[in-house]
Chain A
Amino acid sequence: MKFVIASGKGGTGKTTVAVNLFEALRMEDNIQVEIIDADVEEPNVHLFLAKEAADIHWETTVVEAKIPAINKDNCTFCGRCVHFCEYDAIIMQEENQHIEVVEDLCTSCGACLYACNDGAITEEEVCIGKLGVYNYENKHLLEGRLDVGKPFAAPIIKSLKALKNPNRISIIDSPPGISRTVVEVMYDAEFIIVVAEPSPFGLNDLKLMVKTLTNMRKDFGVVINRSYGEYKEVHHFLEKKQIPLLMEIPFKREYAKLNSQIELLIHHDEDLRLKFIALFEEAKNIYIQKSMYR
């Protein structure tokens, strides 16, 4: 079963919820769990989990994408590839006999290869990022990491998903927002846990996320993080829309400090750990109940 931890925007404590939920479950004897860091632009989960085990085992594999290479000797400068490329990734100047592919714009769609009738285009594998697998004791962490400045995350998400172990509960830390990458991450998940902050910004971002999840017909619930108690609009919104509030994490300076030192909150607060277990049980029950009616 796959649980995606999402948020309309970063900085709500999405990763905090993911790592603490993972660790809370891992400490239970009867639950097999793994954590997948799909926030490929800025994967930070490993900072929290790898810290406790200096000798952690980490294997990486490279994710490649196919980028066209144009052989000028065969090229007739017919311009078909330029016409086929929807992303303006091929620049051609016939008068200078110049043609080149702008790697940062190329989506590896293969249209130019198909277009060329003169055999001038071949494809080269170019590294766009990495997959990391940590296995330490019974801690299982998978991570996708996009190289700096590479535009497309989809191939990494796809390879990351292929690595997941179907026999374990997966806690997936999604990228923030509602982009296509996020939709790709959530596409086949059973339940989405949305982390929201109780503020006007948080409410705005939450509404967009709720719209997305409703469109996708996903089962989801909300965790309110850094709750001060003053701002109640997020609560009202959840009540009105009948969205389950799964958990509320109060704002505590102590938590902020622990977080900044990349400590897991639940190692210092057993009550909180039990709340995370309860959150998991509730999310699971909601999913099971809803799926009985489908």
Chain B
Amino acid sequence: MKQITLISGKNGTGKTSLTAAFAAMVQNAAFADCDVDAADLHIIFTPNIIEQFDFVGNKKVVIQQEECIRCALCHTLCRFSAIDHIRNQFYVREFSCQGCDLCRKSCPVGAIEQIDRKSGDYFISDSRFGLIVHAQLGVGEDFSGKLVTLVRENALKVANQYNKEYIIIDGPPGIGNTAMSSINGVDLALIIAEPTQSSLHNLKRMFTLTTKLAVPAAVIINKSDLNPEMTIEIINYCQENKLQLIAEVPYDRDFTYAMFQQKSLTEYKPESPTVAIIERAWNRIQKQLFL
């Protein structure tokens, strides 16, 4: 089984629309939406949830005021300035707390309690494109890398269970924790770039990351006709770095119109030349995967 992650330095490159366009043409795949901070793939997939799970990210701590002897040790030890005091009462600033648990383990009177707090949900669902594992992180939550890993583990589980040939992953933007977790160990990281200066700049950073993780990478330039000179610059960069260019996809308003109807471009306008380009792109990806 082959795993492919679509990633981009920033959002708005059309990553999710392309994932959906592929989804409608690829047989025998399972899907994972690893953009857990702002999951959107479900809008096009309109999935039916089969199973829902709680995600407990990091733990939280609370101070039991009746037991606290106000020694301030926790305040001194906390590296994240998450323990504050007002009128001689110590309390935890929830959004700053990283759940390291040091305060609880060190409190001399055991006045601090650790609580599990749900920090999101993840789902295994069915859709017209096949099975999809997706998630939604709670507000102000972190450790989304953990959630991404859970989503991928579950995608792998269902893909194995149903003998899927591919797992197609809609990855998060950027080079952070979640991006790393979404591309770690995949067979291909498909970087979606745009012909802009900042996108080229981001492409370089993405490439640094895939190289660091030793993941094979290839590039699709989306909206390539918006700035032909920049497209050439990106192509040159790819050649210099032996990054395979999979396709140049022109700017196409139909992506947006398709999204308005919660459809993929492939379904919305099967006869569109853009769909033909994406089909060819998929063939190249297959070649790259089975090289």
Enumerate chain A interface residues (CB-CB to B < 8 A). Answer: 8-13, 15, 41-42, 44, 47, 84, 86-87, 104, 107-111, 114-115, 146, 148-149, 151, 153-154, 176-184, 187, 199-201, 204-205, 208, 211-212, 215, 228, 230-231, 256-257, 259-262
B142 within 8 A of A: yes
| Given known contacts A109-B80, A262-B196, A262-B197, A205 and B40 CB-to-CB distance under 8 angstroms | yes
| Given known contacts A108-B79, A149-B180, A153-B176, A262 and B40 CB-to-CB distance under 8 angstroms | no
Which residues of the other chain, A, contact B98 by a CB distance below 8 angstroms? 107, 109, 154
18 contacts between A and B (CB under 8 A): A8-B38, A9-B37, A41-B174, A44-B10, A84-B105, A107-B98, A111-B100, A115-B105, A148-B205, A149-B175, A151-B177, A179-B142, A180-B142, A182-B140, A205-B40, A212-B139, A260-B196, A260-B227
Asked if residues A146 and B176 are in contact (CB atoms below 8 Å), the reply is yes
Which residues of the other chain, B, contact A12 by a CB distance below 8 angstroms? 11-12
Which residues of the other chain, A, contact B95 by a CB distance below 8 angstroms? 180, 183-184, 187
Q: CA A154 – CA B99 in complex, angstroms?
A: 14
Question: B256-272 toward A: CB 8 Å interface, digit per residue (1/0)?
Answer: 10011010000000000
Other CB < 8 Å A-B pairs besides A15-B198, A42-B10, 20 of them? Answer: A9-B40, A10-B173, A11-B13, A41-B175, A42-B9, A109-B79, A109-B80, A110-B79, A111-B102, A114-B102, A148-B175, A151-B176, A151-B177, A176-B173, A178-B38, A179-B140, A182-B140, A199-B260, A230-B260, A260-B196
Which residues of the other chain, A, contact B96 by a CB distance below 8 angstroms? 184
Q: CA A56 – CA B6 in complex, angstroms?
A: 36
Asked if residues B174 and A42 are in contact (CB atoms below 8 Å), the reply is yes
Enumerate chain B interface residues (CB-CB to A < 8 A). Answer: 9-13, 16, 37-38, 40, 43, 58-59, 77, 79-80, 95-96, 98-102, 105-106, 137, 139-142, 144-145, 173-177, 180, 194-198, 201-202, 205, 208-209, 212, 226-227, 230, 256, 259-260, 262
Asked if residues A205 and B38 are in contact (CB atoms below 8 Å), the reply is yes
Which residues of the other chain, B, contact A149 by a CB distance below 8 angstroms? 175, 180, 209, 212
Asked if residues A148 and B259 are in contact (CB atoms below 8 Å), the reply is no
Asked if residues A9 and B11 are in contact (CB atoms below 8 Å), the reply is yes
Asked if residues B139 and A215 are in contact (CB atoms below 8 Å), the reply is yes
| Given known contacts A215-B139, A231-B260, A86 and B202 CB-to-CB distance under 8 angstroms | no
